[in-house]
Homo-oligomer: A and B are copies of this chain.
């Protein structure tokens, strides 16, 4: 073979030459096959097959200003919280020919800015944010990018653009109300100290004042990441301060499992002596003994909804409901009676 076909990837021109048509016809055969005659289509397709041509979407995106790339930023992928959302997001995007670019902000504001810069430079058609954008410069950059933005996992009071999530404070209220309904009065919290957990705790405490007439709710704060061990430690610390607590809410099921484990070790009967509730409905929550009462949020729905919002806007359709509350459900199991 005279020409080394290996050195550089095939382009529209190569395909066009082989098929005996012009470059634009190849482009059309790919992007709007019905505007091309059946015969030509067949010849182009064969040429594509032969050359192993894969269209350079960078070039196409540059010209058409449609990159079919959607960016998502999460604080961290490790930690099972955002998984369902990411999975559903990826799947929904994929179904429509879009691709996901993933970034981790890592709970640090410092890198947030550099990350946004790197992402915006790739001209995604939209962005999905989980966790707030903290810096003012960051918000300005995003606004300036002029692309659809969906904030998730939190119903921001003033979203940059669109939002799909739920009300963390109301979850706190609901859990407290559940404890109240179970006849618990000496409630306590073992909670992570990220922003969303804080808001859930805030809702819980507000309800505690109203329903349980308790001004003070003992809280043991744990640093990220929330682990089972932190849950065990949390219960131990709480009991040291308040031996008579009768209900504990953990900020994740992992924490709740830790509380359960520690209670078991100390011979504290759950739910008789201590009611325990978690958050997230992680895979093990329903299966352990006692099964963990928890709060379930439809993470997959959040991801799917976010994907469709971005795609709709990217393709020029209006998004009728730019703020979606997916709600939550309290799943009552054995650990709280």
Query: Please, could you name 28 A-B residue pairs with CB atoms under 8 Å apart, sorted by A?
Result: A9-B145, A52-B144, A58-B58, A58-B122, A62-B62, A69-B122, A77-B77, A77-B90, A78-B87, A80-B80, A83-B83, A87-B104, A91-B104, A94-B103, A99-B119, A99-B122, A100-B101, A102-B102, A225-B283, A228-B287, A229-B286, A254-B283, A257-B284, A257-B287, A261-B288, A261-B289, A265-B289, A284-B284
Which of B111, B120, B231, B265 is the one whose CB lies under 8 Å from A54? B120
Nearest CB in chain B: distance from A244 CB, A: 24
- Chain A 108-141: CB-based contact to B (< 8 A → 1; otherwise 0): 0001000101111111000000000000000011
Q: Which of A116-175 contact B (CB under 8 A)?
A: 117-123, 140-141, 144-146
- Chain A 55-80: CB-based contact to B (< 8 A → 1; otherwise 0): 11111011000010100000011111
Tally of this chain's copies: 2
Count A-side interface residues using an 8 Å CB cutoff. 65
- Interface pair A103/B123, CB less than 8 Å apart: no
Nearest CB in chain B: distance from A331 CB, A: 15
Q: Which residues of B contact A101 (CB under 8 A)?
A: 69, 99-102
Q: A57-B122, A94-B103, A100-B101 are in contact. List 17 more A-B contacts (CB 8 A).
A: A52-B140, A58-B62, A76-B87, A77-B87, A78-B83, A78-B84, A79-B83, A80-B80, A86-B102, A90-B103, A90-B104, A99-B118, A99-B119, A99-B122, A225-B283, A261-B289, A265-B289
Q: Which residues of B contact A264 (CB under 8 A)?
A: 289
Given contacts A77-B77, A145-B9, contact A56 B91 (CB under 8 A): no
- Interface pair B104/A118, CB less than 8 Å apart: no
Cβ of A192 within 8 Å of any chain B Cβ, yes or no, is no
Cβ of A33 within 8 Å of any chain B Cβ, yes or no, is no
Q: Which of A251-277 contact B (CB under 8 A)?
A: 254, 257-258, 261, 264-265
